[in-house]
Amino acid sequence: MAKNHTRYIFSMGELKRKDNSIAFRNEKGNFYIPIQDTRELYCMNEVSFNTKFLDFISKSGITLHLFNYHGNYSGSFYPKEQLVSGDLTIKQSLCFIERRLHIAKAIVRAIALNIHESLYHYFRHGKKDLKQVLDWLKNDLEKLLNKELTIEQILFVEGQVWNRFYDSFKYFLPEDFIMNKRVKRPPDNPINALVSFGNTLLYTKTISSIYETHLNQTISFLHSPREGRFSLSLDISEAFKPIIVFKTIFDLVGKKRIQVTKHFDKSLNYALLNEEGKKIFIDAFETRINETFMHKKLKRKTSFKNCIKLDGYKLIKYIVEEKEFSPFLLKEKM
C-alpha cells in the first residue's frame, strides 16, 4: 500500500467526532480528517478529546499515539483486540521458554547486517576508515553469535554492535553531530535527540503493525518481557532502526536539511528538536517508511512499513510451524 495512512497533529486543539468523520478544531477553525484511509493518528501537542471520539476511532480500527510537548512518547490508545488467539499466545509463551535465545540471536544478527548495509554505502563513497567496523560486523559478530550464549551475553553483544555503530559516526557525519555517548531520557545532544525521537516513532509504528497480527504485544524475546511495555514491538523494531531511523537521520544531516542551530531548542542545550525540526524529521521518516521496493520472496511491491508486519508473520510461522525466523534484511530485500 503506497497510500499514507498516518496523520500527524502538531498544534493544540480538540479532536471530535463529527458525524462519520474526525474533526480537529483549534483557533484557526475546523479541519476534517477523512476516516476511511486513516489508520494512525499522532498527537504531537496538547490535544483534548472525549470517549465518544475514542469509541469512534476504536470502531474504525485507528491507533492513537500520544506525545507530550517535549516530543516524549506518552502512550497509545488502540482499539480493543480483534485478532486474539489464545492458542497462539500459549505457543508464544512456550516459545519464550524453549527458544528465546534463538530468536534473540536472529534479531541481533539482523541489526548488525542492516547496520553493515547502511555503513557500506559510506565506505563505497570513500570513507575507508569504516573498514574495521564493517569487518567486525560481518565476520567477528557471526563467530560471536555462533557460540553458546546466555541472554545476558547476547544483550551484551547487541550493546557492542550499537556502540561500534555510534562510534563510527565520526567518520562520515559533520562535526556538530558526532556522538560521544548514547544518552537517553533525556537525550543530551542533537544526535541523541534525533535517535530518541526516531526510535520512538518507529516503536509506535511497530505497535500498530503488531496490532494487525495475532501476536501478543507483551511476550518478547530479546528484551525482557518484564519491562512492562509492549516489549515485542521493541524486539521487532530493532532490525529496522538502522534502515529507517538512521537512514533518515544520515540523509537529513548529510544534506543539511536539519541543522543544530536552526532545528533544536537552544534553551535546552540543543537536546530537543523544535517544532520545525520535528516536522522535517517526520516528513522524511514517513517518506522512508512508505518507500516501496520489490520484495524478493513475495515478488510484489511492498513498503518498509509493511515489512514490519511481515516480520510479525515470520515470527508467527516460527512459533506455530517452526519455520526459520530471520528478520528483514535490507541486502536481501526480504
Q: List residues near another protein by CB under 8 A.
A: 82-88, 212, 214, 297-298, 306, 309-310, 313-314, 316-317, 320-322
Question: Is residue 264 helix, strand or coil?
Answer: strand
Q: In the complex, what is the shortest distance from the CB of residue 202 to another protein, in angstroms, rounded to a whole number?
A: 20
Q: In the complex, what is the shortest distance from the CB of residue 302 to another protein, in angstroms, rounded to a whole number?
A: 8
Comparing CB distances to another protein, the nearer of 211 and 246 is 211
Q: In the complex, what is the shortest distance from the CB of residue 304 to another protein, in angstroms, rounded to a whole number?
A: 14
DSSP 161: H
Q: In the complex, what is the shortest distance from the CB of residue 308 to another protein, in angstroms, rounded to a whole number?
A: 12
Q: Which residue, among 178, 189, 174, 180, has the nearest Cα to 273 in the 3D structure?
A: 189
CA distance linking residue 16 with residue 235, whole number of Å: 34
Q: Give the residues across from 9 on adjacent strands.
A: 43
Comparing CB distances to another protein, the nearer of 105 and 214 is 214
Which residues touch 321 (CB under 8 Å, ≥6 apart)?
A: none
CA distance linking residue 246 with residue 304, whole number of Å: 14
Q: Which segments within the chain are labelled E, that is strand? A: 6-9, 13-18, 21-26, 29-33, 40-43, 47-48, 63-67, 73-77, 292-295, 300-303
Backbone phi, psi, residue 22, to 5°: -100, 130
- Give how far Cα 190 sits from Cα of 168, 175, 193, 201, Å: 17, 11, 5, 17
C-alpha cell at 39: 489508520
DSSP 241: I
Q: In the complex, what is the shortest distance from the CB of residue 38 to another protein, in angstroms, rounded to a whole number?
A: 14
Listed in sequence order, the DSSP H helices in 67-149 are 86-124, 131-135, 141-146
CA distance linking residue 291 with residue 307, whole number of Å: 11
158 is in an annotated binding site: yes
CA distance linking residue 265 with residue 63, whole number of Å: 29
223 is in an annotated binding site: yes
14 is in an annotated binding site: no
- Going by the annotation, the residues of the binding site for Mn(2+) are 158, 223, 238
- Going by the annotation, the residues of the binding site are 158, 223, 238
